[in-house]
Amino acid sequence: MSREDEGVGAVLVVGASAAGVTTADALRRKGFDGAVTLLGAEQHLPYDRPPLSKQVLAGQWEPERTRLRSPEALAELDVELLLGDPAVALDAAARTVRTASGRELRADAIVVTTGVQPRRLPGQEPLAGVHVLRTLDDGTALRADLLSAERLVVVGEGVLGSEIAATARGMGLDVTLTGPLDAPMAAQLGSAAAAALGRLHVDEGVRLRLGVAVDGLVAEAGEVSGVRLATGEVLPADVVVVAIGADPVTGWLEGSGLEVERGLVCDSRCRAAEGVYAAGDVARWQHPDFGALRLENRTNAGEQAMTVADNVLGADRAHRPVPYFWTDQFDAKIHVHGVLSPDDEVTVVEGDRASRRFVELHHRDDRPVGVLGWNMPKQTRQHRKALVQALTA
């Protein structure tokens, strides 16, 4: 099916991410036979990020295994792949993107899938032994340092920081996890499940130094030697990982005329302007049930990309998922459907927290908003069905 007669002869996807590759793949599967260009800032073929904090960091996977598509599969998509050349400017009205190398790329529809970039601590850059984890290169560099280290401090108790702490502890390192909240993933799981996760980390030998701010890094001869807390206490370290969140990659959109506020602002159709769409971590769109959302997870990247592909090809479909993410830490497989808050009313409806096999239902203002399952995937899926029915009724 060609859309050239309706004005969509070429699509430019800015960001060779999971959302970017899925957009290109969905366009082809839906019969689009126009030109598709996939522009990426990194030199690597498009790869998946969730394994970086787990299988790749632990040495269970070679980096090549993270590829989203093989070179042969990418070739079958008939996509022009431009790698190692980040976008630096967008003229939304002309639908033209300028890249760092000076290329000017024009298309009838532009899809922004540039993701996020990790935040850093002041004074972090010049120090050896301090890492963030976002890219494949970040992952291989961190693993190399961990193999010769004994003590790791992870700054940030969110999803990424908690996963890195669990993986590193499994590698035999002395691990300390620090951050301002009282339990690992408290912002994502709610207080009770987060407390259970904290107990699991402690039982596995992770030192928790939570509920206190980080004041800075301590170094000797240009190498990190510890993390200084606001209390004055210093946590000794051979390696430090900074996992204090990430910011959407939107700086290149300055002057584009698009609205940027904690992400690229879009309507319910993931449309930022006529002919300009966004998907994945960078997109902040209007969810019909939850309001303005920006989700940093793998599931949404794929689902949102498929919605965008539909709308590029002339559909008028709102992106209305039940948000979902998962995390694997030690022997815990935690699945979360919906949008949880520490203030939710929480009821355990299957199993119990003491056995680390349970399902929680979350309500807010007498309205169901989420389901959390811990090592009970089948039962969690069953309760998700009821959540979907309640949200879409």
Residue-level pLDDT, tens digit, the chain, 393 residues: 333 335 589 999 999 999 999 999 999 999 999 999 999 999 999 999 999 999 999 999 999 999 999 999 999 999 999 999 999 999 999 999 999 999 999 999 999 999 999 999 988 988 999 999 999 999 999 999 999 999 999 999 999 999 999 999 999 999 999 999 999 999 999 999 999 999 999 999 999 999 999 999 999 999 999 999 999 999 999 999 999 999 999 999 999 999 999 999 999 999 999 999 999 999 999 998 889 999 999 999 999 999 999 999 999 999 999 999 999 999 999 999 998 988 899 999 999 999 999 999 999 988 899 999 999 999 999 999 989 888 876
Q: Which of 80, 51, 35, 127 is nearest to 327 (CA)?
A: 51
Q: Assess contact for 264 and 253: CB atoms under 8 A.
A: yes
Angle between helices 298-312 and 18-29 (to 10 degrees): 40
Amino acid 1: pLDDT: 37
Amino acid 5: pLDDT: 38
pTM: 0.95
Joined tokens for residue 153: 């401090």
As a CATH number, domain 331-392 is 3.30.390.30
Which residue has tokens 């902040």? 284
Amino acid 342: pLDDT: 87
Checking 289-298 for CB contacts under 8 A at 24+ apart, the result is 289/320, 289/391, 289/392, 290/323, 290/339, 292/265, 293/323, 293/339, 294/248, 294/262, 294/263, 295/323, 295/325, 296/116, 296/246, 297/323, 297/324, 297/325, 298/18, 298/48, 298/49, 298/50, 298/325
Joined tokens for residue 332: 């815990």
d(CA 10, CA 48): 26
Kindly list the distances between the CA atom of residue 142 and the CA atoms of 234, 307, 310, 348, in Å, as whole numbers in the listed order: 22, 35, 39, 38
* CATH match of 120-244 with 3.50.50.60: yes
Angle between helices 159-170 and 191-203 (to 10 degrees): 20
Q: What is the CATH class of 4-117+247-312?
A: alpha beta
Q: In which residue ranges of the chain is CATH 3.50.50.60 found?
A: 4-117+247-312, 120-244
Residue type, 42: E
Longest dimension (CA), the chain: 67
**378: exposed, middle or buried (C-beta count within 10 Å: 0-12, 13-18, 19+)?**
exposed
**DSSP β-bridge partners for residue 19:** none
Task: Please state whether 365 falls in left (phi above 0), alpha (psi between -120 and 50) or beta.
Answer: left
Amino acid 366: pLDDT: 87
Q: What is the DSSP letter of 185?
A: T
Q: Residue 308 belongs to what H/E stretch?
A: helix 298-312
d(CA 263, CA 335): 25
Q: In which residue ranges of the chain is CATH 3.30.390.30 found?
A: 331-392
d(CA 373, CA 129): 36
d(CA 196, CA 216): 29
